[in-house]
Structure 1
Amino acid sequence: MKIQRTTYLSLGTNQGNKLENLQNAINIIADKVGSIQKISSVYKTGSWGFDGDDFFNICLKATTYHQPEKLINVLLSIETELGRKRNDSLEYSSRNIDIDILLYDNEIIFSKNLIVPHSKMLERKFVLVPLVEIASNVIHPIEKKTLTICLQNCTDSSEVLITNCPLERPIPITEKYNYIAIEGNIGAGKTSLSNMMSEEFNAKLVLERFADNPFLPKFYEDKERYALPLEMSFLADRYQQLTDDLAQFDLFKNFIISDYYIFKSLIFAQVTLQKEEYQLYRKMFDLMYKEITKPDLYIYLYQNTERLLENIKKRGRKYEQNIEISYLKSIHNGYKNFINTEKNLNILIIDVSDLDFVKNRIDYKYILNKIKFY
């Protein structure tokens, strides 16, 4: 299990559109570092250590999976991405963005590339004032005093003025949603995406137990004979699994990702069952559906039929290799009808036909941003 660490960062800018510089940095930090928990007010201060335009300064609290040395490299790359040009001079100068690590949990780090706590933070009111706003009771690892006391002891006499300039905190996916269900046609990539997101966000993962269903290989050999026992067994298993797994959140994981939703049972049953069988099946389904927890977000991954067939062939399940195009289209039409008529779910459709989110990090981040900003 990946462990999240808490870090406090200082951001400053005195060039160009200073508020925009800060917001752009915040957005990229949220994308590349981790979830931003708190952002201080924007403070206006004079340039420190040189003559230049006034600075806008803030501090923020973030959680991250990055280790300290990785984190500093990510932050340096963000500065470069935002247009900062560094030189070899040791003198202070104007800059469009400056990002420093102030604290990293309660660790004390002395390495070639990083010193934590920041060696100058206790000497600078433009750092301590916004930091105390969001972390007043945090203990400085070396001084063994709260940051509030550290601020009171600070000898810096420079003026630090609070502004009313607004900044927006990006809301992380784990705050927006407790339970996400990801669905799609056979071979759409729902299980791959569920696994990746579970790893990304340290979420509890609920995967459909299709591999243990003894009727599945038989169904692909003789659909008419095995359709009803297959769909009934799937329904019972999905109901039991979702009931058990969603009854209470994991002690350490309050975010759940599932690669299916129980309505999938009805969609496949509509395609595979005869009329009389379906009517019986529907009665059972309706009883169970009332008891199932609804996801906060239902994601449908759309893949065109050609890509579905490629993915099915690539993953190599023997009993899937003779799936017909007409069957895949029928399943898609079932999902389409469900999406168009279901009024009680928060539904997001993502077309992944031209994406390879498993191998391409940019494609994966594109999907995450679709979810984050939905």
Structure 2
Amino acid sequence: MKIQNITYLSIGTNEGNKVKNLQNTIQLIEQQIGNVLKISAIYKTPSWGFNGNDFYNICIKVGTSKTVENLLKIILNIEQQIGRERTNSSEYQNRKIDIDILLFNNDIILSEKLIVPHPKMLDRLFVLKPLEEIAKNVIHPANNKTIRECLAATTDSSKITLIKDTLKTTIPFTEKYNYIAIEGNIGAGKTSLAKLLSEEYNAKKVFERFADNPFLPKFYKNKERYAFPLEMSFLADRYQQLSDDLAQFDLFKSFIISDYYIFKSLIFAQINLTKEEYHLYRKMFDIMYKEITKPDLYIYLHQNTDRLLENIKKRGRSYEQNINADYLIKINKGYETFIKTQENLNFLIIDVSDKDFVKNKLDYIYIKDKLNNY
């Protein structure tokens, strides 16, 4: 479980479309650093330390799992993405964006690259005024005074003007949903995505125990003989696991991520069982399905068949290596039918056929954006 750190950042801009610069910066911070928990109003102030355009300044509160060292690296990258061009000059200059770490938890950090709390924050009204708006009772760890007291004590008498424009933050999906189920075909990446999200957002995990099923290797060698005991054992295991695990969590206080949903049992059973076997199986399924808690959001990861086969080969499970394209196509069609016929489930379909969200950070950010903006 990753530790959640709280950091306060100061953001300023005096070039181009200033409001847009600030909004774009907030979006990149949400994507790359963590949840933006609070945003101050925008304050206009004269350039500080040099003759230049007026600045628009804000402060934000961010929850992040990043270390302060990684936070600094990402901030420098975000500044570059927005369009800041750094020079070797030590003099203050106009800039499209400027992001400073003001506070990081209650830490005092003295290093070659970074000093926290920011050494000049107490002398700058354009920092203290927006910071006081969102953190008035937060204690400055160096002087042991609240930010409100620091603002009252500052000697900076610069003119500061409130701007009517407002900025917005995306409501993170962790606040919109309590229980998310991730589904997809064999090799779609559902467990990998569930692990990434659960680690980043400290979620309770419910992962399918498929590896413990003794019928699975036998099924791939002799489908006709082992299809029914395999599907019945999966159904029983999934029902028991979801019933037991979800009962342990408070669905109104816990954030839960599962890498499967019990309806997948019916999809695979339709493909693998005879008509008579499926009829019996469906009776058992319907009894169990009524008792299972439904997810607030059902994510379906779509992968094309070639990519699925490639992923299956890469992960190297011996009993899966003889899976053919026709079987995967049938499963995809089964999921498509399920999605079309379920009116009471909240679906988000994400095509990840050209994505590698495990190795490519931008692909993972793409998926988080889909979740946050859905």
TM-score by length of 2: 0.94
Q: How far apart, CA to CA, are the structure 2 residues paired with 1:77 and 1:356?
A: 22
Cα deviation, residue 14, structure 1: 1.4
Aligned with 2:140: secondary structure? coil
Contact 2:2-2:65 within 8 A present in 1 as well: yes
Q: How far apart, CA to CA, are the structure 2 residues paired with 1:50 and 1:220?
A: 73
- What is the 5 A alignment of 1:201-280? 201-249=201-249, 254-280=254-280
Q: Which runs of 5+ in 1 are unaligned?
A: none
Q: Give 1:18's aligned residue.
A: 18
Q: How far apart, CA to CA, are the structure 1 residues paired with 2:163 and 2:292?
A: 48
- Give the counterpart letter for 2:287 in structure 1: L
Q: How far apart, CA to CA, are the structure 2 residues paired with 1:97 and 1:355?
A: 30
- Could you list the structure 1 runs, at least 4 aligned residues long, displaced by more than 3 angstroms after superposition: 248-251
Residues 266-316 of structure 1 show CA distances to partners (whole Å, capped at 9, x for unaligned) of: 111111222232222222212221222222221112222222222222222
- Give the counterpart letter for 2:370 in structure 1: K
Contact 1:10-1:58 within 8 A present in 2 as well: yes
Residues 157-193 of structure 1 show CA distances to partners (whole Å, capped at 9, x for unaligned) of: 2222222211011222322332221111112221222
Q: Give 1:363's aligned residue.
A: 363
Contact 2:205-2:256 within 8 A present in 1 as well: yes
Q: Give 1:149's aligned residue.
A: 149
Contact 1:7-1:63 within 8 A present in 2 as well: yes
Q: Give 1:54's aligned residue.
A: 54
Q: How far apart, CA to CA, are the structure 2 residues paired with 1:50 and 1:307?
A: 56
Q: Give 1:34's aligned residue.
A: 34
Q: How far apart, CA to CA, are the structure 1 residues paired with 2:187 and 2:69?
A: 39
Q: How far apart, CA to CA, are the structure 1 residues paired with 2:309 and 2:120?
A: 59
Q: How far apart, CA to CA, are the structure 1 residues paired with 2:83 and 2:355?
A: 29
- What is the 5 A alignment of 1:75-90? 75-90=75-90
Q: How far apart, CA to CA, are the structure 1 residues paired with 2:172 and 2:311?
A: 31
Q: How far apart, CA to CA, are the structure 1 residues paired with 2:248 and 2:10?
A: 38
Q: Give 2:135's aligned residue.
A: 135
Q: How far apart, CA to CA, are the structure 1 residues paired with 2:160 and 2:290?
A: 57
Residues 179-213 of structure 1 show CA distances to partners (whole Å, capped at 9, x for unaligned) of: 22111111222122222222333322221111111
Q: Give 2:120's aligned residue.
A: 120
Cα deviation, residue 326, structure 1: 2.6
Q: How far apart, CA to CA, are the structure 1 residues paired with 2:199 and 2:250?
A: 15
Cα deviation, residue 6, structure 1: 0.4
Say whether residues 1:285 and 2:257 are aligned partners.
Answer: no
Q: How far apart, CA to CA, are the structure 2 residues paired with 1:94 and 1:315?
A: 51
Q: Give 2:347's aligned residue.
A: 347
Residues 23-80 of structure 1 show CA distances to partners (whole Å, capped at 9, x for unaligned) of: 0111111111111110001111222222222211100000112222221222122112
Q: Give 1:298's aligned residue.
A: 298
Cα deviation, residue 250, structure 1: 7.7
Residues 337-357 of structure 1 show CA distances to partners (whole Å, capped at 9, x for unaligned) of: 001111111112222222233
Q: How far apart, CA to CA, are the structure 2 residues paired with 1:49 and 1:306?
A: 59
- What is the 5 A alignment of 1:61-76? 61-76=61-76
Cα deviation, residue 114, structure 1: 0.9
Contact 2:102-2:116 within 8 A present in 1 as well: yes
Aligned with 2:357: secondary structure? coil
CA RMSD of aligned residues (A): 1.9
Residues 117-160 of structure 1 show CA distances to partners (whole Å, capped at 9, x for unaligned) of: 11111111111111011111101101111111111111222222
Q: Which runs of 5+ in 2 are unaligned?
A: none
Q: How far apart, CA to CA, are the structure 2 residues paired with 1:95 and 1:359?
A: 33
Q: Give 2:3's aligned residue.
A: 3
Q: How far apart, CA to CA, are the structure 2 residues paired with 1:166 and 1:333?
A: 46
Larger deviation, residues 23-32 vs 80-89: 80-89
Q: How far apart, CA to CA, are the structure 1 residues paired with 2:306 and 2:44?
A: 57
Alignment CA distance shift 1:307-1:53 (3 Å): closer
Larger deviation, residues 262-271 vs 319-328: 319-328
Alignment CA distance shift 1:89-1:306 (3 Å): closer
Q: How far apart, CA to CA, are the structure 2 residues paired with 1:357 and 1:157?
A: 49
Q: How far apart, CA to CA, are the structure 2 residues paired with 1:153 and 1:140?
A: 13
- Give the counterpart letter for 2:8 in structure 1: Y
Aligned with 2:180: secondary structure? strand
Contact 1:40-1:60 within 8 A present in 2 as well: yes
Aligned with 2:300: secondary structure? strand
TM-score by length of 1: 0.94
- The percentage of counterpart residues that share the same residue type is 68
Contact 1:9-1:101 within 8 A present in 2 as well: yes
Alignment CA distance shift 1:86-1:322 (3 Å): closer
Contact 1:204-1:250 within 8 A present in 2 as well: no
Q: How far apart, CA to CA, are the structure 1 residues paired with 2:57 and 2:227?
A: 64
Alignment size in residue pairs = 373
Q: How far apart, CA to CA, are the structure 2 residues paired with 1:27 and 1:100?
A: 16
